[in-house]
Structure 1
Amino acid sequence: MLTVNAYAATAATDPLAPATIDRRDVGPHDVLIEIKYAGICHSDIHTVRGEWGPASYPLVPGHEIAGIVAEVGSAVTKHAVGERVGVGCMVDSCRECDNCRKGEEQYCIPGNILTYAGIGRDGQVTQGGYSTHIVVTEDFVVKIPEGIPLDAAAPLLCAGITTYSPLRHWGAGPGRHVAVVGLGGLGHMAVKIAHAMGAEVTVLSQSLKKQDDGLRLGADHYYATSDPETFRALAGTFDLIVNTVSAAVDLNAFVSLLALDGALVNVGAPPEPMAINAFSLILRRRSFAGSNIGGIRETQEMLDFCAEHGIGSEIELIGADQINEAWERVLASDVRYRFVIDTATLTPAQA
């Protein structure tokens, strides 16, 4: 066992605090990663605070992990010591179901093993990236190309793949009109990626306060959804709308913006149900869908795409002692656009 420094939640409502956790011994097919940077995702907050179901404590969140391979198991063939690597939202799956065999491990039928708050093959609760090291089976570790700085790469392991996957699946590209709802951690990545894919990109945000940023990041147009005129002017416009907001929105209003055969795809995951009028879908053969991260193969594809197009996340680098403040700022939408923890600042828990 390797004992490492971490930052952990001890209860749903308490601040996170320094902790130590044990990582398993490196097995034949395992990779030990020295974590350099860990992104803060809104999912971390939802999970720790029990908004997506009961959590087990202490819990170390974090599934946007970028680091360097420190050790490999005797049978590892995919990675080598010194390699720049990443780990995203899952660290294993059954590998045998139809979806896993198709490279869609995120849709593993028995259920994949989450990077944190999951149950590993050893029966223990998995602990995430707010820590200095992690041990992961080689098949769930991806290579981070040299063209992306490690700190800006960390959020790509969730925010990047969460938006890349639906954009690719629903055919974002030249001649396609794509809208992104919300310009936050997910939304800003969706804008960058959709623009690089060649789509005409529109941001639909509650206000115009981030308009300059949106246009700088690659949007062609920017509208405020608080203005009713937006929905009149853009009715029937978009082939694809990616909703990145983790709060309830008026789905019917956004569906009205879809063209014939258009799709509204949710990647934001609000804890409460949302209603949709079936006729708003039926009358123009529109679709309302959801999308989860991406499989390991697609995640590697996304990283290679981002390196080719010079895409990284817009980040604010913080020390471990700023994590709790950062969480509050995430809840207040006060981040442009992703907090990333410098894990070198993780210190041992006080005795």
Structure 2
Amino acid sequence: MVIAKARAVDGPDKPFRSAEIKRRDLDSYDVLIEIKFAGICHSDIHTAHGEWGPVNYPLVPGHEIAGIVTDVGAQVTKYKTGDRVGVGCMVDSCGECANCRKGEEQYCLKGNIQTYAGVDKYGEPTQGGYSTHIVVQEDFVLNIPDSIELDVAAPLLCAGITTYSPLNHWGARPGKKVAVVGMGGLGHMAVKIAHAMGAEVTVLSQTLNKMKDGLQFGADHYYATNNLETFKELSGCFDLIINTVSARIDIDAYFSLLTLDGTLVNVGAPGEPLSLNVMSLIGHRRSFAGSMIGGIRETQEMLDFCAKHNIVPKIEVISADQIDEAYERVLASDVKYRFVIDTSTM
């Protein structure tokens, strides 16, 4: 058993504190990972603040994990000591249902086991990557290509796959017009990936404050949504819209930007329900969809794609003592574009 140093929170309004957590002894197919970097995702904030339902505190968040293998179980064949690896939003699934057999473990019919705020097959609560070590069974560990540094690799395990998966599924490619709503941690990755896939990319952000960045990341166009003329000018324009924001927006206004058979996909997860007018869909056979990360196979595909196209997030590395400040800055949209914790500061 390994005693890991960590940062834990004891309630929705509590600050993070130093903690020690036990990581289980290695089972036959387990991998022990020394975590080097852990990204901060908006989902961490929603969960730590109890906005998505009851939480079993104390909680150690973190599902954007990059590190080094330090030990493996007796029957592990995929990894060895010294390998550069990552762990994303889930650490297990039933492996037997139709969705798991398709390689879509994120949609496990029995419910996948989340990296944190879940309960593992041993009946123990899962604790995440704001820590120095984690034990994960090998099928849910990812190989990080050598060309991607570990600090920038961490956010790919959520922000990367959360945007890659819908762009891949709905066919972003040359000849397709893709809009990205929001230019935060998810949005800037969506721009980079959609551009690399060959699509014509437009950013739809509240203001033009990040326009220079958006164009550098690969956007062909950049519009401010606080200007009502934007919606008139772009009416019926896009084949695919990826909505990355975790707040309520006027969904009907964005539906008007879709062409015939266009699709708006939500990857941002607001804490309150959205409403829509069904006539916004019926008029041009438009679709409203959602997407949640990707399966292990697709996540590895994403990492390899990012390595091939030199795609990495723009990050700000912080110490473990800065997590509370980082949460406040994320909520104030004061980050370009992802915070990453240096776990050596635990």
- TM-score normalized by structure 1? 0.98
Q: Which digits, 9 at most, give the CA deviation of each residue in 1:161-215, with x for residues without a partner?
A: 0000000000001000000000000000000000000000000000000000000
**Equivalent position of 2:296 in the other structure:** 296
Q: Which digits, 9 at most, give the CA deviation of each residue in 1:214-256, with x for residues without a partner?
A: 0000100000000000000000000000000000000000000
**Equivalent position of 2:193 in the other structure:** 193
Match status 1:36 vs 2:36 = yes
Match status 1:276 vs 2:276 = yes
Tell me how large the CA RMSD over aligned residues is. 0.4
Task: Find the residue that maps to 1:311 and give its secondary structure.
Answer: coil
CA offset at residue 48 of structure 1? Answer: 1.0
- Alignment map for 1:1-351 (pairs within 5 Å): 1-346=1-346
Distance in 2 (CA, whole Å) between partners of 1:192 and 1:17 is 35
CA offset at residue 27 of structure 1? Answer: 1.0
Runs of 4+ that moved beyond 4 A: none
CA offset at residue 12 of structure 1? Answer: 1.0
Where structure 2 has 5 or more consecutive residues not aligned to the other structure, the ranges are: none
Distance in 1 (CA, whole Å) between partners of 2:80 and 2:338 is 29
**Equivalent position of 1:349 in the other structure:** none
Q: Which digits, 9 at most, give the CA deviation of each residue in 1:273-315, with x for residues without a partner?
A: 1111111111101000000000000000000000000011110
Distance in 1 (CA, whole Å) between partners of 2:312 and 2:21 is 30
Q: Percent identity?
A: 71
CA offset at residue 97 of structure 1? Answer: 0.4
Q: One-letter code of the match for 1:15?
A: P
Distance in 2 (CA, whole Å) between partners of 1:327 and 1:183 is 17
Q: One-letter code of the match for 2:163?
A: T
Distance in 1 (CA, whole Å) between partners of 2:227 and 2:244 is 19
Q: One-letter code of the match for 2:153?
A: A
Q: Which digits, 9 at most, give the CA deviation of each residue in 1:143-177, with x for residues without a partner?
A: 00011111001000000000000000000010000
Where structure 1 has 5 or more consecutive residues not aligned to the other structure, the ranges are: 347-351
Q: One-letter code of the match for 2:158?
A: C
Task: Find the residue that maps to 1:301 and give its secondary structure.
Answer: helix
Q: One-letter code of the match for 2:36?
A: K
Q: One-letter code of the match for 1:119?
A: V
Distance in 1 (CA, whole Å) between partners of 2:168 and 2:181 is 17
Distance in 1 (CA, whole Å) between partners of 2:7 and 2:100 is 32
CA offset at residue 105 of structure 1? Answer: 0.2
Tell me the matched-pair count: 346
